[in-house]
Every structure is written in C-alpha cells, then in structure tokens.
Amino acid sequence: MPPRHWAWNFDIDRFLNPFVPRPPWRHVPYPIAHFLGYRKTKPQATGNVVPVFWSFIGIFCAIIIIEQATKHVSAFEDNGVPTVIVGSFGAAAVLQFYAIESPLAQPRNAIGGQLLSSIIGVGIAKLFRLSHRFDDIQWLGGALACATATALMGLTKTMHPPAGATALLAVADKKLLDLGWWLIPVMMLGCALMLGVALILNNIERRFPMYWWTPDDLCQGKSILQRVRESTPPKPPNKSVIDEEKAIASRGSSDGTEPGVLQPQPGATDGAANAPETGATGNAVARGDQEYLIIKHGKVIVPKDMLLSQEEEQLLETMSYRL
C-alpha cells in the first residue's frame, strides 16, 4: 500500500477559479479574438515544417525586440539599469514559439512563473547579501532560489522551466545581481513583449494560446478531469459509431495516415467559452490490461490510482477539447 502522503494534492484553482471571469471571446470582434487564440472551427493539422519556420521567425523577432526595448526604456536608463537580456528568455522563446501547445508555454505559466521566480530570486539574493561572507555562500543562495521558485510554481500551477533559470541567475549572475529589484520590471517587460509577438505570429497559421488561465470549464467551476475508483470498460458502441470509425479508418489509409489512429487537431480551450460552436463530441480510449483512460469532449476520466503531474493533467484536459 503506498504511503498516505502520495495522495496529498493541493489545487489552487479550487479557490481561484470562482473569481476568474469567463473568457469574453464571443463578445470580441472575431479578427481580434483570432489573434487572442479563439477559434470558431478547428484549425487544420500541420506538419513540422510550419512550426519550425514560424518558430525561427518568432524567436528571432522576439529576442531582437526585447534587446532593443530594454536599451531604450528611460526609467531603466535614469536608474542605471544595465542593458542586459536575461538568458532564460532564450529558453522561454523556444516554448512560446515552437512548443506552443505545451501547458508550460501558456500565458499563465509564462508570465506568472517568471514573476514569481524573479521576486524569489531577488529576495533571496538580497537576504544572502546581508552576510559579509556572501561570496562563500552565493552558491547556496542560487540553489535555494531555484528550488523555492520551482516549489511555488508547482503549487500555483505556473510551472515554467525557464523561470527556474531566472531565479538561479538572479543570485548567481553578477550583472543580474546588481539589478536588484529592477530585475522584476525587466522580466515583466520582456515577458509582455514576447507574448505580444507570439500572439501575432503564432496565430497566422497556428493557434496560440491554447488557454489563458486554465483548460477547465470556468462556467462549471470544476475540473473536467474526474477520477474513478474502479475503471469500468465503456459501453460497446452502437452500429452507427462502428460504421463511422470504419469510415475514418478507410479515409486515413487513403490519405497516407495510419488507419485507426486519431490525428491531433487543435481544439478550443478555456472551457465552454472557447469551445467550437459546432458542439461536436468524441471519445478516445487507451486500453491497458484492466485500466481505462477515457477522453471525451470536455471530460477526462482516469483511474483513481493513476499518478499524473499538473502538466499531464492540463495536457489531457487540452486534448479533450480537440475532440
């Protein structure tokens, strides 16, 4: 029997989601909502050339804009803030322009994670610099900053790997150490500029973000992921469903895809407010010996004892809206 602490779970969204407003995309002119990630229909699936092309353009433009903007902010110049670009922006750019469907790349993670990490990094750096032996214990401060930032990002569902580097560099890097609290506005400016570029370029032939706050349905106020005590096999499909699956399989073999394999299609997220207006539903079942993982439109059912990280849960929830 697993230890009791294995089942401990803290879901901050249980307390925050009731106060988060429903996304207003349906009330925003569609040309604007399009570049904020809303879609009326499911975008077509693409190969790997399109993401590679747009990630190259996006990363190149975003890094240049951040570098130039940092040099010309009068508030930074007046307070002697050195014109540097934090190295973690490079890793963040890879997520936000290439791995755009990852939960780690969504705005809540990209901005919230960097904000938390920069505050923690600067705070720990200030605390350790109170010691006259700072040079001897600086390595300890960097490790503590990165570990603390990761823990808080995990608890607040703002996990963003590049932000861990931000917390570490805030203590370990001499230039960032001299920035002090100015590191926070520098990071927030960079995050805002990168997100702005991502919203424009990623929505030309792809879709970003998949959601702004959560893939859960904010209207229902509860997670779409449900756990069951015992996995029960789904009911046998009726004849019409079987005929439809055969038709899909035959179409897959004719267009070069593997028959019977569901092809990924970006769907809508942020709950029903961002779901396609067609209201289509679907099922996908991954079968083990006796366990079932059931993905339906707007619902994910997993065995009670199946361990999932927050990022894995968010990924499954995002996939459910592609059906």
What pLDDT tens digit does each residue of the chain (323 aa) get? 678 888 788 989 989 998 999 888 878 999 999 999 988 887 788 899 999 999 999 999 999 999 999 888 888 888 777 777 899 999 999 999 999 999 999 999 999 999 999 999 999 999 999 999 999 999 999 999 999 999 999 999 999 999 999 999 999 999 899 899 999 999 999 999 999 999 999 999 999 999 999 988 777 656 677 777 654 555 555 555 556 656 655 655 555 554 444 444 444 456 544 444 444 444 444 444 557 788 887 788 888 777 787 778 778 877 776 66
Cβ burial 245-276 (10 Å sphere, 16+ → b, else e):
eeeeeeebeeeeeeeeebeeebbbbbbebbbe
pLDDT confidence of residue 1: 65
Distance CA 37, CA 9 (A): 30
Q: What element of type H or E holds 136?
A: helix 134-156
pLDDT confidence of residue 121: 98
Yes or no: say if 86 and 166 are a contact pair by the CB < 8 Å rule: yes
pLDDT confidence of residue 268: 46
pLDDT confidence of residue 261: 45
Distance CA 321, CA 323 (A): 5
Token pair in block for residue 78? 């007046």
- Nearest one of 103, 128, 111 to 184, comparing CA atoms: 111
Could you give the 3-state DSSP secondary structure of residue 43?
coil
Cβ burial 99-121 (10 Å sphere, 16+ → b, else e):
ebbbbbbbbbbbbbbbbbbbbbb
Yes or no: say if 300 and 316 are a contact pair by the CB < 8 Å rule: yes
pLDDT confidence of residue 227: 75
Distance CA 220, CA 315 (A): 19
Distance CA 156, CA 22 (A): 20
CA-CA-CA-CA dihedral for 231, 237, 242, 245, to nearest 10: -40
Distance CA 248, CA 29 (A): 35
β-pair type (292-296, 283-287): antiparallel
